[in-house]
Amino acid sequence: MTSTVPHQALYRRWRAQTFADIVGQQAVVETLRNAVRSDRVGHGILFVGPRGTGKTSLARILAKALNCTNLQDGDPCDACPSCVSIREGTTLDLIEIDAASNNGIDSVRSLRERLPYPPGQLRKKVYILDEAHQITGPAWNALLKSIEEPPPFVVFMFASTEPSGFPPAILSRLQRFDVRRLTIPEIEGKLTRILAADGRLADPAAVRLIARLAAGGMRDAESMLDQLLSAAPDRIGEAHVRDLLGLADAEVVDAFVGFLVRGDAAGGVALLDQLDERGRDLRALLDQVVDAIRLELVAGLHDPSRAGHDPAALAAAGRRLAAIDPNRVGIGGLRFQLELALFAPSATERGPQPSLAMAPSASTAVAAPTGTATTPAVRQGPGHPASPVATSDPADAATPAPARPGPTRTVQLAPAAAPTHTAAPTPDDAPPVASPAGSPAPAARPVGGSPDLDRLAGGWIEVVASVGPATRAVINECRPLSVEGNVVTLGFPEAKAFLKDVAARKAKELDAAVGAFLGRSVNVRCVATNVELPLPPTTDADLVLAEARRIFADDIVEIGEVS
C-alpha cells in the first residue's frame, strides 16, 4: 500500500455515502429518494436483504437525507454539518444498535427512556437497529408502543436478513424496502473502481472470480480484495484468489466435472489424489464443481449451443453432488462421498440395456424428430430407445436434459399405451432423487403399443412446445393413448375432463402439430380417461430450469442474470 494512513477496512473506506454511491438497488434507491423529496418517509423503516448487501449503508444515507440541510434532489449532500457528523459518527442523534448483542428487554427499556428527549444537533433522532430479527419477543412488546406512537422527531430503522420472525404488529407499521443480492458485474465494477483508485492492478479474471465467490455480497467481495491487496502481489491474478481461498484451478474443476459426467471414477480419484497432495480443500472443490455445473446448466438454458456436456448427464452429476453432506466426518468423510459421486450410474447401468440394444434404427427418430425443433441441445443426450419397451414419459424421453420435474411420481398410464414412469432409460440419471432403487416402474412396463404411439408419447413434450401458448396449457394435461391408422387419441384426466372439450375446439391445430411430429396427416380425438396420467410436462427449458432450481435453490436466478 502506498498510503501511510493506518489501514481501514476497504468496505468501510468505500462505504456508500449518498444514494448516488449505491451500487445496484436502483429500485430501492429511487423509492427512497422519492420519499425524501416528497417528505413521505415514515417513522418506521425496514430494510430486508442478504448479508453484506448494503442495508445499514442505506439506513445511514437515509438518516443523512432526513437531516441534510442541503438536499440534492432527494440525495444528501454529504457536506453539510449534519451529513458530516453522521458520516464521521460524531453525532449522538444517530443511534446504531446491534440487535444481535442488545436484543433483550433491558436494552429496549433504556432505549425507551431516552426516546422522549429531542435531538441535540440533528433534526431527527434516528435509531438504526441492525440484525433486528434477533430482538426477543418481550423486547418487541416493549418496543411496540414506541413504534406505534414515537415522538415526532424519532425515526426507527430496522435492518434484517430474516424478518419473518418479526411480530406482525410491528411489521405492519414499517415501510419495507427489499435489498437484493448484487450481480457479478455490479461487484466487478466496484472492485475495479477500488483498484483503480488505489493504483493497484488485478487481472480481470481475478476480479471476476472474487465477484463470483462473493455470492452477491459486496462486503464479502471487498473483504476478499482487501486481504489480497494486503498480501501485496504486484498484480493480483486468479491464482492468488485461489490460493487465498484454497481453491483448485479452473482446469482441475473442469476436469473433475468431465470425470463426473462421464462416470470416469479412475480419472476422478487420481485427480483427488493430486489435490490432496497439494493441500487443496475438497470442500472448496465441491463448491467450485457445483458452481461450474450450475453455470454450465444455466448457460445451456440461455443458449443451448453453449452447452458443453450433455445437460442430462450434467444435471445428474449435479444431483449426485447435491446429495453430498460436506459436514460429514468420520471414515471416508467428504473424500469418499466425492468418490462415490464419480461412480455415475452411467458407468454401470448404461451398458447392456436391453431396450437400447434392441432398438432398431428407429431410435434415431426420437433424436431427430420431425417438425418441431425446440431445443437442439438436449437432443444430443443419450440415445433413447424407441422400441416398444421405451419409456413413454415425455419428460423422460423427449428431454434427455434434466428431465424429471422434481421427484418422480410413479404413475400408470393407460395399460394399452406405453408405461409412464421409469428411471432406467436415462443412463446418467442419479439415483438419489430419481426413482429409488426397486421402484415399481420397470416391472410394470407392458410390452405393447405401436411404434408411432411410443414415439409420440416419448416426444409429447415437443408437440406441446410446438403449439400456441393457449393450446399448450391444455394439451400439457393430456397424453396420447393410442395411434390407430390416422386417428390419434389423446386422454385427459377425468378430473379435468372439461379440457377435452377445450382441446376438441382446437382440433385443427392439434391435427397439424401431431401430424407434423409423426410426419403424416392425422385426426386427433380427445377423450377423458380415468387412468392416472403422468405429471404434466412443460417446455424443455422449463423442465431444465425447474430441475436446476430444485438442485440449486434460489441462487439460480442471480446466476441467470449475470451469466
For Zn ion, the binding residues (CB under 5 A) are 68, 70, 76-77, 80, 83
Grid coordinates representing 404 are 424429471
Q: Closest separation between CB of residue 171 and Zn ion, Å?
A: 31
Q: Closest separation between CB of residue 81 and Zn ion, Å?
A: 8
Position 129, amino acid: L
DSSP collapsed to 3 states, 238-272:
HHHHHHHHCCCCHHHHHHHHHHHHHCCHHHHHHHH
Q: Closest separation between CB of residue 65 and Zn ion, Å?
A: 8
Which of 80, 497 has the CB closer to Zn ion?
80
Task: Please work out, in degrees rounded to the nearest 5, the angle formed at the alpha carbon of residue 214 by the alpha carbons of 212 and 220.
Answer: 155
Q: Closest separation between CB of residue 73 and Zn ion, Å?
A: 13
Q: Closest separation between CB of residue 82 and Zn ion, Å?
A: 5
Which of 77, 295 has the CB closer to Zn ion?
77
Grid coordinates representing 100 are 444481535
Find the distance separating the first CA and the last CA of the chain, reported in whole Å.
33
Which of 83, 241 has the CB closer to Zn ion?
83
d(CA 492, CA 528): 5
Element (H, E) at 294: helix 282-302
d(CA 543, CA 437): 23
Can you name the residues that pair with 95 across neighbouring β-strands? 127
Give every CB contact of residue 169 below 8 A, 6+ residues apart in sequence.
144
Q: Closest separation between CB of residue 20 and Zn ion, Å?
A: 13
Q: What is the CA radius of gyration of the chain?
A: 30
| Spatial CA neighbour of 523 closest among 474, 471, 486 | 486
Can you name the residues that pair with 127 across neighbouring β-strands? 95, 156
Residues 166/140, Cβ–Cβ less than 8 Å: yes
Which of 65, 551 has the CB closer to Zn ion?
65
Q: Closest separation between CB of residue 62 and Zn ion, Å?
A: 12
Distance of CA 220 to the CA centre of its chain: 19
Task: Please work out, in degrees rounded to the nearest 5, the angle formed at the alpha carbon of residue 278 by the alpha carbons of 275 and 281.
Answer: 60
Q: Closest separation between CB of residue 78 and Zn ion, Å?
A: 6
Q: Which residues of 521-556 are buried (b: 16+ CB within 10 A; e: fewer)?
A: ebebbbebbebebbbbbbbbbebbbbbbebbbeebb
Which of 82, 146 has the CB closer to Zn ion?
82
Q: What Å distances lie between residue 46 and 318, 422, 460, 520, CA to CA? A: 37, 49, 48, 62
Which of 52, 76 has the CB closer to Zn ion?
76
Give every CB contact of residue 433 below 8 A, 6+ residues apart in sequence.
319, 323, 404, 407, 550
- The full DSSP string for 349-373 is HSTT-HHHHH--TTHHHHHS-SS--
Q: Closest separation between CB of residue 64 and Zn ion, Å?
A: 6
Q: Closest separation between CB of residue 80 and Zn ion, Å?
A: 3
Q: Closest separation between CB of residue 21 and Zn ion, Å?
A: 14
What length does the chain have? Answer: 563
Give every CB contact of residue 58 below 8 A, 6+ residues apart in sequence.
22, 25, 28, 29, 32, 47, 177, 179
Which of 77, 504 has the CB closer to Zn ion?
77
Which of 68, 159 has the CB closer to Zn ion?
68
Which of 61, 184 has the CB closer to Zn ion?
61
Q: Closest separation between CB of residue 37 and Zn ion, Å?
A: 15
Residues 56/130, Cβ–Cβ less than 8 Å: yes
d(CA 333, CA 330): 5
Which of 53, 85 has the CB closer to Zn ion?
85
Q: Closest separation between CB of residue 84 and Zn ion, Å?
A: 8
Which of 77, 105 has the CB closer to Zn ion?
77
Which of 84, 250 has the CB closer to Zn ion?
84
Which of 54, 76 has the CB closer to Zn ion?
76
| Spatial CA neighbour of 452 closest among 364, 365, 359 | 365
